[in-house]
Amino acid sequence: MATDSAGRVTPGGAAPGHGPAGEGPEAGAGPTHDGRTLRFGEIEDSDVERVVALWDACGLTRPWNDPRLDIAQARTGATSTVLVARRGQDVVATVMTGVDGHRGWVYYLAVAPAEQGHGIGAAMLERGERWLAAAGARKVQLMVRDGNPAAEFYEARGYEVQRVAVLGRWLA
Ligand SMILES: CC(C)(COP(=O)(O)OP(=O)(O)OC[C@H]1O[C@@H](n2cnc3c(N)ncnc32)[C@H](O)[C@@H]1OP(=O)(O)O)[C@@H](O)C(=O)NCCC(=O)NCCS
């Protein structure tokens, strides 16, 4: 990873290691807008509580979704993961990705509130897309809750509103 002339994060850089996109623990290390190093990689056990706290801070948790269970299931699946961006011991950003056998999906894209607006979200999303593409996905989809201004962020990155209704039912 690197930064552009304005100090914004760009997602470049090789990613050796495990996982479909080869996300190693030090993949894409590089300085960010404030000159401090950000490291991309897959979530580890020691990250879990920090990730849950980040999702809480970003307003992504809901009573009906157990975030620890969501993380555990994504980590268990052969075609899903949670990618994180770390600065030291802190988790600054996340994205959960997975291929369901047909499409690639993105969930829990989050950047710590104090770190937003510096290109980290765009870099994290691109990391997730690369992971999905390496896992065989030809299309990536995501759901944005009504009223979330992040929809504009996605549309600026080439995502289009799909004219479908998403229906769901709990199985367990
Ligand atoms: C959405 C989110 C991940 C973006 O992260 P970020 O690091 O702030 O985004 P970036 O700095 O990479 O922004 C890239 C661009 O999107 C724009 N942007 C970022 N967040 C935006 C938002 N909420 N609404 C509109 N535009 C937004 C930025 O202005 C920037 O535009 P530019 O490239 O023209 O300058 C972050 O705002 C966040 O964590 N939000 C809370 C959690 C959330 O809602 N996640 C999405 C769940 S579906």
* Helix (H/G/I), strand (E/B), else coil: 66: coil
Tens-place pLDDT, residues 53-69: 999 999 999 999 999 99
- Domains of the chain: residue spans and CATH: 2-155 (3.40.630.30)
Distance CA 32, CA 34 (A): 5
Specify the ligand 1 atom closest to the Cα of 117: 11
How far from 155 is each of 32, 90, 134, 141, 143, CA to CA, in Å?
Answer: 24, 29, 23, 12, 12
Over the stretch 38-51, which tens digit does the pLDDT of each residue have? 999 999 999 999 99
Low-confidence winner among 16-25, 52-61, 128-137, 156-165 (lowest mean pLDDT): 16-25
**Ligand 1 centroid from CA 117, angstroms:** 6
- Residues contacting residue 18 through CB under 8 Å, at least 6 positions apart: 24, 42
| 170 Cα–ligand 1 center, Å | 30
